[in-house]
Amino acid sequence: MKQLFLASGSPRRRELLTQIGVPFSAISADIDETPLNDEPPSAYVERLARGKAEAGRDAVVSAAEYCVLGADTAVVLDGKILGKPVDEADACAMLMMMSGREHEVLTGIAVLDGAHCESRVIRSLVRFRRIEAPEAAAYWASGEPRDKAGGYGIQGLGAVFVAGLDGSYSAVVGLPLCETAELLGHFGIPCWQTLNAL
């Protein structure tokens, strides 16, 4: 069976991939994440997912057959990508913009081997309840928003802001498990492998 490499430093993506019983090795895949001029958000996340998979492939030293999985997630409000906050003011401003509104979360995934690459973009809609400014400041003080796209984590303390979700919860966390399992299957990598090891 092909060996899988996850080209991501995200502990959340590692946890999600482990959750569906797929063995993998995590590798670093640093790429320039600057959006291109007039690049639509969906094209942006797909390009970054592919770029991370390609960077991961370049880092692999393996004689065996292997695949590389790359992923990227963006929070989008009014067509604008909300990145990771640079400071408290930025984080609070993002939360207040999303307060009482619905925003998009786009997650791109890409799997490649030596021969070809397949990618997908998964779109989810997240609706926030109204957020008060002191809550936003207290949330920043928790430390959780610092490395999160859009300045919040749905799987953590930020869950209290989420009034509704239409789409994939795991995609909002960072890796859409249904689509990832399907894509890995195209490359001969089944999920639930760890069940057979018991």
In sequence order, the 6+-apart residues with CB closer than 8 A to the CB of 27 are 5, 6, 7, 56, 59, 60, 68
Angle between helices 11-19 and 177-186 (to 10 degrees): 70
The two tokens of residue 127 are 């609706």
Contact assessment for residue 183 and residue 118, using Cβ atoms and an 8 Å cutoff: yes
In one-letter notation, the amino acid at residue 15 is E
- Active-site positions read 72
Residue among 83, 67, 60 at smallest CA distance from 145: 83
In one-letter notation, the amino acid at residue 171 is A
Contact assessment for residue 150 and residue 82, using Cβ atoms and an 8 Å cutoff: yes
- Distance, in Å, from the CA atom of 30 to the CA atom of 55, rounded to the nearest integer, reads 7
Q: Which value, in Å, is the radius of gyration of the alpha carbons in the chain? A: 17
79: left (phi over 0), alpha (psi -120 to 50) or beta: left
